[in-house]
A and B are shown apart, each in its own frame.
Chain A
Amino acid sequence: MMDETQTRPEHAPEVPPGSRESLWLLVSGPTIWAAHFLLSYLAVSVWCAKVAGRAGPLGDIRIAIGVLTALALTGIALTGWGGWRRHRFGEATLPHDFDTPGDRHRFLGFSTFLLCGLSFVATVFVALSVVFIRSCE
């Protein structure tokens, strides 16, 4: 059951010349989110166990997590931007379900973009905890 809108135009170039598809960009956003979460968690745990004490203040570790968060958000934003650019290329039509290079290219780009959006919000949520919680208690 194919209608006009689902048929891919044959003439346009499907993927940017010289590009190789890989899954790395797709998993980068969530990976940065996971790394940010793990590093923040470890940093606060070590800080409270070794430096500040169980009821001590979070103090400087909050600044460190702030810097880490800025780096992570930049990384996720750049990845998302890359995904969006990929998605813009070519004319493969929605819903990118065909096993053609063009569909694959646009599908991976759009998925990367969406996953980066999710990872961005999640990373902000993780960082919010040290904005409002200032002690190890």
Chain B
Amino acid sequence: MTWREKDRWQRLFSTGAALSILLFSTGCERRQSALHPASVNAERIADLFWWMVGGGLIIWAVVMAIAFFATRAHPEAHGVRSARWLILGGGVAFPVVVLTGLLIYGLMLMPQLSSTADIDLEIDVAGEQWWWRVTYQTAAGEPVELANEIRLPVGQRALFRLTSPDVIHSFWIPPLGGKVDMIPGRTNTLVLEPTQTGTFRGACAEYCGSSHALMKFEVMVMEPDAFADWLNRQAQPAQPPQSESARQGQTAFLANGCGACHTVRGTEANGTLGPDLTHVGSRLSLGAGILPVDPEAFTRWIGHTGAIKPDVKMPSFGMLPEDQLPAMAQYLSELQ
């Protein structure tokens, strides 16, 4: 290969590398990336991460330079004295200083990350196979229950109390923070203070059974006023069905025993085994972050529950008369 050829290959290679990096970085969704922090604590942790990446790169370069010096630039034997200083300096003193610095920085950060002082908002979240039971504590007194969705006011400190009634799950919203385990019999706390509005995505981060990978949720950070309106609306009982088809859907919903597991506040349905459906039509996702919210998705979910989510704790109702599924779907989408 001539030099010119070599040059061309090199250029091709570096263009390819640059392109793939570009592709990868746009391919990663920002709304589920810990490298695009959107809360006070996540920003601190991301800063520390980038400093450590930079430091690691510098140390790597220095080690490579020394290796090059010792094997290529000056391959002859080196003095005992300089070798001893290299070991004492680079092998003892330097690591002790760097590790002590990192440890102190981390230890100073930890109380800030875990502080539960000055809380504006309290939310209980239970991880259940394979969905999230979310309960907002309100100033008015009555807690508001919903599922598979978390909305937060920007710039306010929200305290999460994390529990589980069945197995260990882990609560994680990569851009905001978390990855805090939800352990049966314990209550773990987590404080998040979002710094940007936007929609993010959370996931269960601890394997919890067949449908662990289908246990997600949507997170929306809103302006405080919009958040207050939203929470107010979630606190209301369900609005009565508007269309004829929705009225039939409500009848079918109650007749088929959906109310044994689901609550629709303001109706006879008051089951607590599954998600509260009072405002399910207003959600950002269906089935814990895996389907869109439209009549079609509702029909699919009710008729093929187990096919969509293996081992789900809700029976499939595909055996119902054909017109009942779309009617129930209509009813549920109207639960705004």
What residues of chain A have their CB less than 8 Å away from a CB belonging to chain B?
Answer: 55, 117, 121, 125, 128-129, 131-135, 137
Please give 17 more A-B residue pairs, beta carbons under 8 A apart, in addition to A132-B104, A132-B110, A133-B111: A55-B116, A117-B92, A121-B96, A125-B99, A125-B103, A128-B103, A128-B104, A131-B107, A132-B107, A132-B108, A132-B111, A133-B110, A135-B111, A137-B111, A137-B114, A137-B115, A137-B116
A45 to chain B, nearest CB (A): 15
CB of A117 to closest CB in B, whole Å: 8
18 A-B pairs with C-beta separation under 8 A: A55-B116, A121-B96, A125-B100, A128-B104, A128-B107, A129-B107, A132-B104, A132-B107, A132-B108, A132-B110, A132-B111, A133-B107, A133-B110, A134-B111, A135-B111, A137-B111, A137-B114, A137-B116
Residues of A within 8 A of B111 (CB): 132-135, 137
Give the nearest-CB partner of B96 in chain A.
Answer: A121
Chain A residue numbers with a CB within 8 Å of B96 are: 121
10 closest residue pairs by CB, A with B: A132-B107, A137-B114, A132-B108, A133-B111, A121-B96, A129-B107, A125-B103, A128-B103, A133-B110, A128-B107
**In the assembled complex, how far is the CB of residue A5 from the closest CB belonging to chain B, in whole angstroms?**
11
- Summarize A's interface: helix, strand, loop or mixed: helix
- B72-96, CB under 8 A of A: which get 1 and which 0? 0000000000000000000010001
Tell me, in angstroms, the Cα distance from A129 to B116 when the chains sit together: 19
A117 to B96, CA, bound (A): 11
Instruction: Report the Cα distance A137→B110, complex, angstroms.
Output: 10
Contacts of B92 in A (CB 8 A): 117
Instruction: Find the B residue at minimum CB distance from A125.
Output: B103
Count of inter-chain pairs, beta carbons less than 8 A: 26
- Bound: A121/B97 CA distance, A: 11
CA distance A82 to B21 in the complex (A): 56
Give the shortest distance, in Å, between A27 (CB) and chain B (any CB): 21
Contacts of B108 in A (CB 8 A): 132
Interfacial chain A residues near B110, Cβ < 8 Å: 132-133
Q: How far is the CB of A21 from chain B (nearest CB, A)?
A: 27
A132 to chain B, nearest CB (A): 4
Which residues of B sit under 8 angstroms from A55, Cβ to Cβ?
116
Chain A residues with CB under 8 A of B107? 128-129, 131-133
In the complex the two chains form, what is the Cα distance from A128 to B108 in whole Å?
10
How far is the CB of A34 from the nearest CB of chain B, in Å? 19
Chain B nearest CB: distance from A54 CB in Å? 9
Q: Which of B92, B99, B107, B110 has the most CB of A within 10 A?
A: B107
CB distance from B194 to the nearest CB of A (A): 21
Residues of chain A contacted by B103 (CB below 8 angstroms): 125, 128
- Residues 48-67 of B, flagged 1 when their CB comes within 8 A of A and 0 if not, give 00000000000000000000
Residues of A within 8 A of B104 (CB): 128, 132
| Bound CA–CA A130/B143 (angstroms) | 38
Residues of B within 8 A of A134 (CB): 111
Instruction: Please measure, in the bound complex, the distance between the C-alpha atom of A128 and the C-alpha atom of B101, giving whole angstroms.
Output: 11
Q: Which residue on B lies nearest to A131, using beta carbons?
A: B107
